[in-house]
Structure 1
Amino acid sequence: MNTVPVNFDFSVSSVEVARRLIGVTVLVNGVGGRIVETEAYDREDPASHSFAGPTSRNITMFGACGHAYVYRSYGIHWCLNFVCREEGHGAGVLIRALEPNTGIELMQKRRGMETLRLLCAGPGRLCQALGVTREHDGMRLNTAPFELLLPDQPVAEADIVAGARIGISKAVDIPWRFGLAGSRFLSRPFGRSHK
């Protein structure tokens, strides 16, 4: 199947999308795994790239929802985001960690490591493992090379934890980081969680 499931709606708030992405499988050219950690960002959020308005770097965030927004973090790592809400708003969800399950050998080769737990634990590691670069910026999530698959059973709300986002200096207390409770593939454990 090469389409985003028809019942997955990216046109809603980034917070809602970030929660609902937990448990969804993302593949890039047939390589990837189950999303176990996300972070939401919105135009009204001072920690968001879109807060100050459109630039050449973040213009994809202001485009149509259901597209990839890829940027380089600290000049080193690529980061993969999914654009949300209506066109022109500027919201997205950072994909922070996956439980790798498809194309593991290729991911290990790309990362130069065998340890499954750390293969996709963190946005930079995840993009390296999946082969995501700036070339993927602006691509639709419902066409190749992307493929999103819903789990057979949606993740229960009780199994999703929330907490503060990582690596930001503004709006640090907003609990817009979401994760699969108990997953060993998270980029970092959750502290005091919010449901």
Structure 2
Amino acid sequence: MTGLAQAIAGLDVVALARRLIGARLDVEDAGGLIVETEAYAQDDPASHSFRGPTARNAAMFGPAARAYVYRSYGIHLCLNVTAGDGAAVLIRALVPDRGLAAMQARRGSAMLCNGPGRLTQALAVRPEDDGAPLDGPRLRIVLSDPVADLLVGPRIGISRAQDLPWRFGHARAGGFSRPFPR
């Protein structure tokens, strides 16, 4: 078991989504602090794993602490952290602090990482990153001390199980994909 996998072992997907807030995510030359996540469990009708393993969601049923990368609406890639047993956490936003020029060149916009599609484009996440360990040479997540001051709200951009309060944000940061409800 890798270092990140050991650190998150035993966490359910909701606890993992909370734990990833404030963690550092780097993809080669660019990265920043994770400020927004969403949890998706295997028994969750909004999850890609709800109907069981497929070629598309295989990473969700593999080991924890791996990347689950998929294409959303046939356009944007999304990056998730696997929790094992068909569960994963979507990384919705981060505050970029490394490789800003490279991210701006990739995005062609000042809006870099406030949304899962923007984030993956800015960081140059690729489809072939699906299943890669998140403590490897290309993709790396380093946990920080847990963030105590979290925003909690319903997930967004889904049509099922919208009421679950499984979206989390860093209360002292900005750069969210959408505002949290008050």
Q: Normalising by structure 2, report the TM-score.
A: 0.94
Match of 1:97 among 70, 93, 96: 93
Counterpart residue number, 1:179: 169
Cα separation, 1, equivalents of 2:30 and 2:50: 32
Moved runs in structure 1, 4+ residues, more than 3 A? 3-7
Cα separation, 2, equivalents of 1:29 and 1:170: 35
Counterpart residue number, 1:63: 62
SS across alignment from 1:8: helix
In structure 2, list runs of 5 or more residues that go unmatched. none
Q: From the superposition, tell whether residues 91 and 27 of structure 1 become closer, same or farther in structure 2 (CA, over 3 Å).
A: same
Q: From the superposition, tell whether residues 6 and 71 of structure 1 become closer, same or farther in structure 2 (CA, over 3 Å).
A: closer
- Asked whether 1:128 is paired with 2:127, we answer no
Percent identity of equivalent pairs: 55
Q: Across the two proteins, how many residue pairs are aligned to each other?
A: 181
In structure 1, list runs of 5 or more residues that go unmatched. none
- Asked whether 1:154 is paired with 2:146, we answer yes
Cα displacement (A) at 1:5: 5.2
Q: Which amino acid aligns with 1:149?
A: V
Q: Which amino acid aligns with 1:142?
A: D
Cα separation, 1, equivalents of 2:41 and 2:6: 22
Cα displacement (A) at 1:12: 1.9
- Superposition map of 1:112-123 within 5 A: 112-113=108-109, 115=110, 118-123=111-116
SS across alignment from 1:169: coil
Counterpart residue number, 2:103: 107
Alpha-carbon RMSD = 1.5
Counterpart residue number, 2:153: 163
Cα displacement (A) at 1:150: 2.9
Cα displacement (A) at 1:182: 4.1
Cα displacement (A) at 1:6: 7.6
Cα displacement (A) at 1:147: 1.7
Cα separation, 1, equivalents of 2:131 and 2:4: 19
